[in-house]
């Protein structure tokens, strides 16, 4: 394997507009830009976040950012009140990315104590109040 070129302090844009165009088309750069856009949208515009995240999944597939995109889909669906759709997505996440921190969060919040069921605390209060 040839040695890596020495590190340089020359700005990346120094090689002209053609390299800038190549960098703009780079899937990693585009994926990073998508992720930066998606994160605030999950709260501000959840329907748009779902659509964009699904498009990102089609476009980029199983990259390192894929579990977070799925988490964004689940979270946005919850924000939209589509709890059953969110739970279905969560189950798919568990099958696809079982060891991801994003999946662990979804599992804990949607599958262990589903949002469409009374919380553990509510059930304990109800049970304590019954004679």
pTM higher than the cut 0.75: no
What per-residue confidence (pLDDT) applies to 115? Answer: 61
Structure tokens at 123: 């059930």
In a domain, 96, yes or no: yes
Contacts of residue 21, Cβ cutoff 8 Å, sequence gap at least 6: none
pLDDT in tens, 25-35: 444 468 889 99
What per-residue confidence (pLDDT) applies to 2? Answer: 40
Residue 97 structural domain: 38-129
Count up the domains in the chain and report the number: 1
Contact 38, 49 (CB under 8 A): yes
pLDDT in tens, 101-130: 999 888 888 887 656 666 666 667 777 877
In a domain, 63, yes or no: yes
In a domain, 83, yes or no: yes
In a domain, 70, yes or no: yes
The residue that leads in pLDDT, 124 or 80, is 80
């Amino acid at each position: 394997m040839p040695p890596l070129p020495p590190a340089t302090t020359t700005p990346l844009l120094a090689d002209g507009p053609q390299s800038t165009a190549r960098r703009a088309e780079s899937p990693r750069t585009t994926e990073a830009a998508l992720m930066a856009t998606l994160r605030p949208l999950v709260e501000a515009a959840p329907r748009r976040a779902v659509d964009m995240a699904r498009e990102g999944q089609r476009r980029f597939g199983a990259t390192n950012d894929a579990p977070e995109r799925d988490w964004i889909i689940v979270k946005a669906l919850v924000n939209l009140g589509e709890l059953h759709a969110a739970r279905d997505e969560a189950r798919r996440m568990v099958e696809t990315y079982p060891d991801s921190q994003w999946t662990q969060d979804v599992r804990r919040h949607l599958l262990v104590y589903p949002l469409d069921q009374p919380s553990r605390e509510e059930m304990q209060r109800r049970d304590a109040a019954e004679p």
